[in-house]
Amino acid sequence: MRRSRFDIRAQPGFGFITLFTFFALYLPIAALVIYSFNGAESLSRWGGFSTRWFAAAWQNDAVQDAAIRSLVIATWAALIATVAATMAALATTRTRPYRGLTFKYALINQPLMVPEIVTAVALLIVFSRVKVWTGYSGLGYLIAAHTAFCIPFAYLPIRARLESMDLTLERAAADLYASSWQAFRYVTLPLLRPAIIAGFMLAFVISLDDVVITEFVKSGGQDTLPTYMLGQLRRETSPEINAIATVFLALSTALVVIFFFINRKKQ
């Protein structure tokens, strides 16, 4: 007798579990987006369709300052983290296996394994001493903290791309007397560019969304948009927070769509 092929989609209850999972994930997000257009002052009462809270958030100086600060920190942190992650990925893949390589891999990914609160407290202790020694209290601490936390997020897609790349073209470049820099610039980098863009976007979103590390490291008057929203929720709940969160969601979705089209064009 011919053995039937196993298909998990044909198992009893699979469709229900799938639908339940999608509802559990996206129903709260849908409610957030819908109520961001709520014209009422209350979060629980529908007062008609309105964009008043988007206009209120746009005209709020505190929101503007926090948004600009978040974008500046996320851009610098993602840029530095991506460069560092690219160098680390090259160093851990374009070499022969040796004792300690696995330890280095684990060390790079340490922020992913350690609870974020532990990293935040450790950075707070270190930066508090540096502030005393230097007297500097600018955004450099937040950029450094976000960079350290974002490196493994940028490292993973870049390393995965390097491990799956065929070495034939790089070896051919070396056979044609290309230097290491020329082989990297004209062969490895173009093939690696989609992964670098993916790592940058992932690090950017992680930095833009971070609350715990920012809350511990920031100085007075250095609120980012997530910490500003957290502070407002502690004081009063306003539909303006829904509007800001919807903009956050739209920005994240736009980044994913842009990366999809860039990656599709490269392929």
> What is the rounded distance in angstroms from the CA atom of residue 128 to the CA atom of residue 120?
12
Residues 88-119: b if buried by 16+ CB within 10 A, e if exposed: bbbebbeeeeeeeeeeeeeebbebeeeeeeeb
**Per-residue model confidence (pLDDT) at position 9:** 67
Sign of CA dihedral 128, 130, 133, 136: negative
Tell me how crowded residue 231 is: count the other CB atoms within 10 A of its CB: 13
Dump pLDDT digits (tens) for 179-228: 778 888 888 888 888 889 888 988 998 898 888 999 999 887 888 888 88
Question: Is a pLDDT exceeding 70 seen at residue 131?
Answer: yes
**Per-residue model confidence (pLDDT) at position 19:** 87
Q: Give residue 58's pLDDT band: very low, low, confident or very high (50, 70, 90).
A: confident
Dump pLDDT digits (tens) for 136-180: 888 889 999 999 999 999 998 888 888 888 777 777 887 777 777
If you average pLDDT over every residue of the chain, what do you get?
83
Helices within 60-139 (DSSP H only): 61-93, 101-108, 110-113, 116-134
SS3 49: strand
Radius of gyration of the chain (CA): 23
Q: What is the pTM of this model?
A: 0.81
Candidates 194, 198, 196, 192; CA nearest to 167 is 192
What end-to-end distance do the CA atoms of the chain give, in Å? Answer: 43
**Per-residue model confidence (pLDDT) at position 145:** 92
Whole-number Cα distances in Å, 71 to 75, 77, 205, 215, 237: 6, 10, 10, 16, 24
The single-letter code of the amino acid at 94 is R
Q: Give residue 239's pLDDT band: very low, low, confident or very high (50, 70, 90).
A: confident
Question: 230, 244 in Cβ contact below 8 A?
Answer: no
The percentage of residues in the chain with a pLDDT greater than 90, rounded to a whole number, is 13
**Per-residue model confidence (pLDDT) at position 142:** 92
The single-letter code of the amino acid at 202 is L
> Class of the 61-266 domain?
mainly alpha
DSSP state of 8: G
Dump pLDDT digits (tens) for 8-20: 667 777 778 888 8
Ordered by start, the domain boundaries in the chain are 61-266
**Per-residue model confidence (pLDDT) at position 146:** 93
**Per-residue model confidence (pLDDT) at position 22:** 87
Q: Give residue 267's pLDDT band: very low, low, confident or very high (50, 70, 90).
A: low
Q: Give residue 264's pLDDT band: very low, low, confident or very high (50, 70, 90).
A: low
**Per-residue model confidence (pLDDT) at position 103:** 81
Q: Which of 6-10, 15-19, 58-62, 249-253 has the lowest mean pLDDT?
A: 6-10
Question: Is a pLDDT exceeding 70 seen at residue 262?
Answer: no
Instruction: Tell me the average pLDDT across 61-88.
Output: 91
Instruction: Tell me the average pLDDT across 49-60.
Output: 84
> What is the rounded distance in angstroms from the CA atom of residue 181 to the CA atom of residue 196?
17
